[in-house]
Amino acid sequence: MTQETRGERIAKWLARSGVASRRDAERMIEENRIRLNGQPVTHPATFVTNGDIVQVDGEPVSAPERTRLWRYHKPDGLVTTHKDPEGRPTVFASLPEGMPRVISVGRLDLNSEGLLLLTNDGELARRLELPSNGWLRRYRVRVFGVVDEERLASLAQGSVFDGVRYGSIHAVLDSRKGDNAWLTVSLKEGKNREIRKVMAGMNLHVSRLIRTSYGPFQLGTLQRRELEEVSPRVLRDQLPKATEKAPPARRAPAKQAD
């Protein structure tokens, strides 16, 4: 049986449709939120073929379109989630009308700002988040406290704070005025709120954290809340393997709910 005849695993199909990452799609299957041609999907090894109708929470999902990627300047005060149980404003609710369903490549916490990559392809998001890419994530960080430059440089060898081991972090002092200083901090992979926790372990309070780049993609001159799509040519040049995929499965037309 050929790949075209068999179709595509439903979790991957949903990821490429921008519904969620493959892992989250598998979780949605476990929660009985996915239906294929009117029947509940109970196993991630279910395949979607030409003409199939897929629904999430009762709403039809459009077949995957071409892979697209956007640069977004996230301001502080927004959470990087589709629905926040605390009712806080979200990145996705702030996007312009007419945007397709997108997910983020990694996250920025509530009080962090700067470059956030958004894509309509969950498979691409998963690939860009993999540490094996070796992509640097660079930040401008304002801290309050006395900066010990030797200790700062030692973070490149890895560190342990509060019993948690952190990988290599390259941090340099850019400027200092009184008890406030600006640092440039770079890392290839990070735990949740890693920069804030590591700085706290060095008796430095982070008062501002701005991501300026993610791999080859730069924040550049994007203003807060500004969104700009990465051109297909740049996307192909930077991500030749990530954007190669089989032709998408198609389904019968169905109305898409808002």
Residues designated as active site: 109
How many angstroms separate the CA atoms of 171 and 152, rounded? 6
Q: CA angle, 10 as apex, 109 and 122 as ends, to 5°?
A: 30
Match 């990070």 to its residue by tokens.
Answer: 190
How many angstroms separate the CA atoms of 187 and 96, rounded? 31
- Each as own residue / partner, the long-range contacts of residues 22-31 (CB below 8 Å, 24 or more positions apart, any chain) are 22/122, 22/123, 22/126, 23/126, 24/122, 25/122, 28/56
